[in-house]
Amino acid sequence: MLFNSFQFLLFFLIVTPCYYLTPQAWRWLLLLLASCWFYAAFIPAYLLVLFAIILIDYTAGRLMEFASGRRRKALLAMSIAGNLGILVIFKYYNFFVDNVDQLLAGMGLHTRAIPFWHIILPIGLSFHTFQAMSYTLEVYKGRWRPEKHPGIYALYVMFYPQLVAGPIERPARLIPQFYQRHPLDFDGLALGLKKMLWGLFLKVVVADRLAIYVNYIHFRPELHSRIALITAALFYSFQLYCDFAGYSLIAIGAARTMGFSLMENFRRPFFSASLREFWTRWHISLSSWFRDYLYFPLGGSRYGTGRTCLNISVVFLLSGLWHGANWTFVAWGLFHALILVVETLIRRLEGGNPARRRRRWRIPGILYTFSVWTFSLILFRASSVQKAGTFIERLFAPGTPWIIPGDFDVRTTLIYSVFGIVCVLAADIGKEFGKGSALFMYHRKATVRISAYVTLVVMILLLGVFDGGQFIYFQF
């Protein structure tokens, strides 16, 4: 079920009141059934994949309680192998087969040696496997007691607001909330609805409108002018941000309406002064997952510059692969690793007062980070490395015309797109440099707040793209 669908609106309007009408003892069951209904709206059979993940990690967690030493380690390995095995089979099998096939063909050997598996990737598989793995890792490290209630554990993996695209939660944050009593709190309800409304605006008014131009240019980049390519690259930065931040806000808001608090996933990333800072503000739940469960165990930055650079490279290579089974994502991850390594080396070579330097270089730093991020997204957005190469070559080739008349003559789409970007930037600038939220929805005067709600709903109905389809991060 998509958050930007009418089906979800009905689902939400049924589930939320039912949650408050259900006695506390049975709320977990209601949420679990609702989450199954939510997920089954995509492909019902894939509930079995989720159940398999739940069974593996619940069993491993329960057995770890009574195990120690090598047996405990073996249980962790079994759990991780189970999760990653499912992920690899569904997400990376065809990628592997395709590459083996090409390698064999390159060697002049028989191709199609291993058959492809014609299957659709279960939506959000990378998200719920990572959330499930965080549970077993926490239990293994002794930082979290194994959950005894299988229903509550299942809900931890399946909680519908964050089931398909995060935020990737940790057991210590989420599981206790299932036991807490959440009485109807009008302020919390209002806060949740405001977040959902702004999230929906970001998705349907901004992201999906930008997608019209971006998709048009990326379909045949070789036909377009340099200005068109630059515009598409800039638009895609905002599209991806609004798409995913919009999703996260709807998820956080939907959970908030029922009294649950999910972790913040975006903190105005376009105001980062370095790529390193960017990754503390973008998809926070994933980057902190990689930091806590991969970067730190690898040694983090404790074993010298060389080891730090290697650890960064490993993390971003895997982060690239996490996003998708395609060489474009590998290249994207390695590009980020390279920039971060360079940033790390520069930081270590620099002396002086870092705080003062950071202040002085803030604006150039923001422009640099945005440019690097936007450029890297050419790899992220392209359907293949060849397409990305075509885009980049066309962008920098001396013969590329700056403007082609009539290249994209739907001026209303461009006006709507720019309007959307201005709205997002105004909101983010207000919050980054001002006091509190710049959105009128949070104004102290009720009349201003109500006007803001009505204006947003009217804009969503009038300017929203309702056939824009699913969220970009669902494919991961």
Partner 1 sequence: MRLLLIGLILFVADLGIGGLMSHFYFRLRHGEQARTTLVMDSIRAPIVVLGSSRAAHHYIPSIITDSTGLACYNAGKDQQGIFYSLAILRSILGRYRPEWLILDLTPIAFQPDQAGLDELSILLPYYRRHPEIRAVLNKRSRWEWLKTHSSLYCYNSLPLQIVFNNLYGTGDSGVINGYIPKDQPMARTPATAFTERELTDPPDSAIVGAFSEIISLSASNHCKLVVVVSPVYFSLPEGSSTTRLAGMICRDHGVPFLDYSGAGSAGFSGHPALFSDEQHLDHAGAVLFTRQLCTDLRAKGLLTKGTAR
Using CB under 8 A, list all residues that contact partner 1.
6-7, 10, 220, 223, 406, 412, 415-416, 446, 450, 453-454, 457-458, 461-467
Q: Of 95 and 453, which has the nearer Cβ to partner 1?
A: 453
Q: Of 63 and 404, which has the nearer Cβ to partner 1?
A: 404
Q: Of 100 and 454, which has the nearer Cβ to partner 1?
A: 454
Least distance CB 174 / partner 1 (angstroms): 28
CA distances from 104 to 110, 111, 328, 473 (A): 7, 6, 21, 32
- Orientation of helix 446-463 relative to helix 186-200, angle to 10°: 30
Write down the catalytic residue from 128, 218, 224, 323: 323
Q: Of 152 and 211, which has the nearer Cβ to partner 1?
A: 211
**Would you call 323 a catalytic residue per the annotation?**
yes
Q: Which amino acid is at 349?
A: L
Q: Of 25 and 462, which has the nearer Cβ to partner 1?
A: 462
Q: Of 74 and 463, which has the nearer Cβ to partner 1?
A: 463
- Orientation of helix 24-40 relative to helix 47-65, angle to 10°: 140
Q: Of 11 and 282, which has the nearer Cβ to partner 1?
A: 11
Q: Of 219 and 433, which has the nearer Cβ to partner 1?
A: 219
Q: Of 344 and 451, which has the nearer Cβ to partner 1?
A: 451
Least distance CB 2 / partner 1 (angstroms): 11
Alpha carbon distance 79, 88 (integer Å): 14
Here the tokens at position 397 are 């080739």
Pick left, alpha or beta for residue 410 (phi over 0 → left; psi -120 to 50 → alpha; otherwise beta). Answer: beta
3-state secondary structure the chain: CCCCCHHHHHHHHHHHHHHHHCCHHHHHHHHHHHHHHHHHCCCHHHHHHHHHHHHHHHHHHHHHHCCCHHHHHHHHHHHHHHHHHHHHHHHHHHHHHHHHHHHHHHCCCCCCCCCCCCCCCCCCHHHHHHHHHHHHHHHHCCCCCCCCCHHHHHHHHHCHHHCCCCCCCCHHHHHHHHHCCCCCCHHHHHHHHHHHHHHHHHHHHHHHHHHHHHHHHHHCHHHCCHHHHHHHHHHHHHHHHHHHHHHHHHHHHHHHHCCCCCCCCCCCHHHCCCHHHHCCCCCHHHHHHHHHHHHHHHCCCCCHHHHHHHHHHHHHHHHHHHHCCCHHHHHHHHHHHHHHHHHHHHHHHCCCCHHHHHHHCHHHHHHHHHHHHHHHHHHHHCCCHHHHHHHHHHHHCCCCCCCCCCCCCCHHHHHHHHHHHHHHHHHHHHHHHCCCCCCHHHCCCHHHHHHHHHHHHHHHHHHCCCCCCCCHHHHC
Least distance CB 307 / partner 1 (angstroms): 47
Task: Say if residues 176 and 292 touch (Cβ distance below 8 Å).
Answer: no
Here the tokens at position 394 are 């066309």
Least distance CB 453 / partner 1 (angstroms): 6
Least distance CB 220 / partner 1 (angstroms): 8
**Would you please indicate which residues are annotated as catalytic (active-site) residues?**
323
